[in-house]
Structure 1
Amino acid sequence: MTEQTRIHPHADSRDQAVKWIVRLHAGSVSEADSKELETWLAKDPLHRLEFEQASKMWAILDGTKALLHEEIDEAEHVWNRFSARQEPVVPRPRWSPAWLSAACAMAVLLVSTLWWAFMLPQSTEYRTAKGEQRQVTLADGSSVTLNTDTTMRVELSNTKRRIQLERGEAWFSVFHDEQRPFTVEVANGVVQDIGTEFIINRTAEYVDVSVMEGIVEVGLSDTSNRRPTGQPAVLRHGERVSYGRDGHMSPIGRFNQLTAGAWKDGQLIFQATPLQEVLREVSRYRTEDIRLLDQSLANIPVSGVFNIQDLSNFMQTLQDALPVRTTWVNSSLVIVERVAASTASR
């Protein structure tokens, strides 16, 4: 087979984006053209990404505008002198359709040549404070919902989509693109999407990956170079794994999707969950420190549905259902302690 020149899978979208930028800056866009542009942008999230990148590239090249005009003038002058030897020169407007087409071709060539020099992966950081949740729509069409106290860094390019979850929890709904893998780096692991929705929760001790829909691969890696250190686990709908900094990954198991994703709807659902774990989870959404004074209470099971934003109701429910008393020591500390059976029954 004869070797042919390789064309980047997104080259056509990129060229179209550059041509639209040239037309817009040439002032030759009609109302019908504007509607056509809107339709083109809405057709594919990649179109909007390429258009935004082309706009940035144009802004970079805009500083050379005067030089480009001088070169065009010189080229016209040389052409006119050459043409005068052959036949009379017919005057034509500076931005005639022919010149506009030539400018488009020139711009496409110039931008394609310089694209990789300027268009390094775009890096954007997203954060949420304690108690805050935020939904982000990425330029590729994927969406991410950040849970409380979460930090995420996003890098998008024409060849890859790289996410770094530095802390916290996030729900990923990924737009499928075979040409650009969607990977999430979390501590000493890498999660790669194969067309799905999944939740990643990063704590100080472990990373938990839960698949709400579709399939993902979860693999451990060397944090210095991100090279795989073993065979990845393939998770499907309703499956979960956890891994720690010690390089150990748990067996694949099932999980309750209702409870795992309830936070996205502003709720916390517990089903016979130990009190210590319940308090730890509620504390993630509060600026107050919730402290259990009596460790003998740690494993008392708690069940119920609670509003994330209503701490007062949560504390009152604990007092009504368990032999405990909750006390606000000050604006930043709440303590939970045992009360005598006779006191609790009063």
Structure 2
Amino acid sequence: AALSAAFPRHGKARKNYVRALVLACSLGLPAMALLYSPYPQQWMADVHNGPGEWKTLRLADGSTLTLNGISAANLHFDSRQRRIELLQGEILVEVAHDGERPFVVQTAQGTLRALGTRFVVRREDDVTVLSMLESRVAAQSANGQQTLEVDAGSQARLSKDAVRLSGSIDTASINGAWRRHQLVVDNRPLPEVLDEIARHRSGRLQFDRAALASLKVSAVLPLDDTDRTLQMLAQTLPITLKTFTPWLMIVSPDTESKK
């Protein structure tokens, strides 16, 4: 009788253990996915915006900060400093004059000290891209070993141990693109363009970087309607678009296309 009474309790305990394990997995897997996604960092930032959003803020010193796409930044403003810590995405900064406090944009790859008024900073994985629209910025690598002054009309790329000029830019086109919510690209690899488009979409844009790396894009693309933008690319490049749900689109090479 004692043995018969024990086995049901053992079976019940085992069922409870299995239920607890299933519950832990059902909660743990989404938590892990959230941990490795960009959203926790974005939600905890001082300022942030979501896909497809454009946000302009007036800062405490009178400067203007504009964010686009999935972007996030922390603001450090007090009596001694004016510093923006860009965590992800892209910002347009118009700096108000202050002779006492320098204006700095900081990323994991280095610091950008404003010597002028207007510039764009974009995070790309392990690189920071600076596009200088007016005056100058002193760009310094994170290890402090290299500093370079970047003038208006120039673009620079910062890594943790280097700063280098990467070419010239059309400042009028970039200013117009920010006003009209557009993306201006000149001979950029398609995967980089898709990365920018993905920041302005609510769903996932999936593609094979290596398979599309040889395709280059030069265009002015609307960012307020990314479906239209992707269709424009598909009309001119040998790629196909497959939409499985409103939350998933796959971009693939079209090997039979004669575009």
Cα displacement (A) at 1:125? 1.2
Instruction: Give TM-score, length-normalised by structure 1.
Output: 0.56
* Partner of residue 207 from structure 2, selected from 292, 303, 315: 292
**Residue in 2 aligned with 1:170?**
91
* Partner of residue 170 from structure 2, selected from 251, 256, 262: 256
**Residue in 2 aligned with 1:4?**
none
Secondary structure at the residue paired with 2:164?
coil
The structure where strand makes up a greater share of residues is: 2
CA contact (8 A) 2:118 2:132 kept: yes
CA contact (8 A) 1:293 1:335 kept: no
| RMSD of equivalent CA atoms | 2.4
Identical pairs, percent? 28
Q: Partner amino acid for 1:166?
A: L
**Residue in 2 aligned with 1:136?**
57
Q: Distance in 2 between matches of 1:312 and 1:270?
A: 18
Secondary structure at the residue paired with 2:163?
coil
Does 1:282 find its partner at 2:197? yes
The superposition leaves residues 230-274 of structure 1 with CA deviations (integer Å, 9 ceiling, x where unpaired) of: 3521111112221113x1222464223355452452111233333
Cα displacement (A) at 1:296? 4.1
Q: Distance in 2 between matches of 1:296 and 1:185?
A: 33
Secondary structure at the residue paired with 2:162?
coil
The superposition leaves residues 114-157 of structure 1 with CA deviations (integer Å, 9 ceiling, x where unpaired) of: xxxxxxxxxx8111112211100012111011121111111222
Cα displacement (A) at 1:196? 1.5
Cα displacement (A) at 1:323? 2.9
Aligned positions of 1:1-346 closer than 5 A:
125-222=46-143, 229-245=144-160, 247-251=161-165, 253-258=167-172, 260-261=174-175, 262-293=177-208, 295-339=210-254, 341=256
Cα displacement (A) at 1:186? 1.3
Secondary structure at the residue paired with 2:197?
helix
The superposition leaves residues 300-328 of structure 1 with CA deviations (integer Å, 9 ceiling, x where unpaired) of: 23333221121222232233223332110
Q: Which has the higher contact order (CA 8 A, sep 6+)?
A: 2
Q: Distance in 1 between matches of 2:81 and 2:209?
A: 50
CA contact (8 A) 1:175 1:195 kept: no
CA contact (8 A) 1:132 1:148 kept: yes
CA contact (8 A) 2:146 2:163 kept: no
Q: For structure 2, which runs of at least 5 residues remain unmatched after alignment?
A: 1-44
Q: Partner amino acid for 1:337?
A: S
Cα displacement (A) at 1:188? 3.7
Q: For structure 1, which runs of at least 5 residues remain unmatched after alignment?
A: 1-123, 223-228
Deviates more, 1:315-324 or 1:326-335: 315-324
Instruction: Give TM-score, length-normalised by structure 2.
Output: 0.73
Q: Partner amino acid for 1:153?
A: N
Distance of aligned partners of 1:332 and 1:182 in 2 relative to their CA distance in 1, 3 Å threshold: same
Q: Distance in 1 between matches of 2:210 and 2:190?
A: 10
Cα displacement (A) at 1:170? 0.7
Distance of aligned partners of 1:171 and 1:181 in 2 relative to their CA distance in 1, 3 Å threshold: same
- The number of residues matched between the two structures is 214
Tell which structure's C-alpha radius of gyration is larger.
1
Q: Distance in 2 between matches of 1:280 and 1:269?
A: 14
